[in-house]
Amino acid sequence: MLNGLSGKTAVLTGAGSGFGLECMRIAAKAGMQLVLVDVQADALGLAAQQARSLGAKQVMACTVDVGNAEAMEALAQEVKATFGAPHFVFNNAGVGGSGGLVWEQSARDWEWVLNVNLWGVIHGVRLFTPMMLEAAAQDPDWQGHIVNTASMAGLLAPPNMGVYNVSKHAVVSLTETLYQDLMLVTDQVHCSVLCPYFVPTGIATSERNRPDALDDAQMTASQKIARAMTQKAVKSGKVTAEDIASKVFAAMADNQFYIFSHPQALGNVQTRMEDIMELRNPTDAFASRPEVGAQLRSELRGTSAL
């Protein structure tokens, strides 16, 4: 899986934790040149130190808000000037958001989540893909791969987390379209979409990086419930970020587009597709776990303590 990676360049956003950190570890051990990007400077610094100790040939660490167009454009220019076109781009940075009922989300909630989860991916695609295509046009043996991190929430519509769902559905659509567009113009640059389910990473506490940090006292009941449920689900996950990183590199080697942490969850995706094809109303998200649905409804309707 690691053959041929030595000396090649990878850009990894969200490199300070979770999937980004684990992908960095695999890439560093393979002797790659790494551009590590994260908004959290302390975590990024530790990741860069670790990358060098694991064998990365060269490490560039950049504290960047991936949702900021100007900052991402400056990053892309620096990458090109230092390394040339990257062979791999991992548009991985993501936040969980505050959760809660769709109509209770403020404009700031929407802006923050979409800036990171969607615009971060958009910037990575629009800035690095042209570089990769240029490199491919100049060298028939050059190969590149882009991995965009979405979520199973990008293929489903779990309740009480609408802002996150919207951002991840957009990433899935963007990446599927990118795949089709690349197929029109090249055989040398490929892409994949990563759709993890609940995996222990730092995303459940990503509010720490929100520009105007959330005040717990101002959160609605639905937002508090969503946060508690997400943190519990993420912490209980048995598939690790390290497992997912290994799946990502294996998928790139096989030119596999869809990457899933929990293939067993695809039954829910099939049900959603059948709902659409058969013109039936969306299936209850808690059909297989009615006790969870009953508890959530009870809490949201105020019949139990919050």
Tokens describing residue 164: 């996150």
Q: Is 61 exposed, middle or buried (0-12, 13-18, 19+ CB in 10 A)?
A: buried
Give all strands (DSSP E) within 40-120, no chain letters. 58-63, 88-91
Residue recorded with tokens 């899933």: 260
18: left (phi over 0), alpha (psi -120 to 50) or beta: left
Cβ neighbours of 5 (radius 10 Å): 19
Q: Which is catalytic among the residues 164, 179, 197, 258?
A: 164
Annotated catalytic residue 179: no
- Is 183:243 a contact under the CB 8 Å cutoff? no
Q: Which H or E element spans position 149?
A: strand 144-149
Question: What residues are paired with 259 via a beta bridge?
Answer: 194
Residue type for position 284: D
Question: What residues are paired with 119 via a beta bridge?
Answer: none
The residues annotated as belonging to the active site are 164
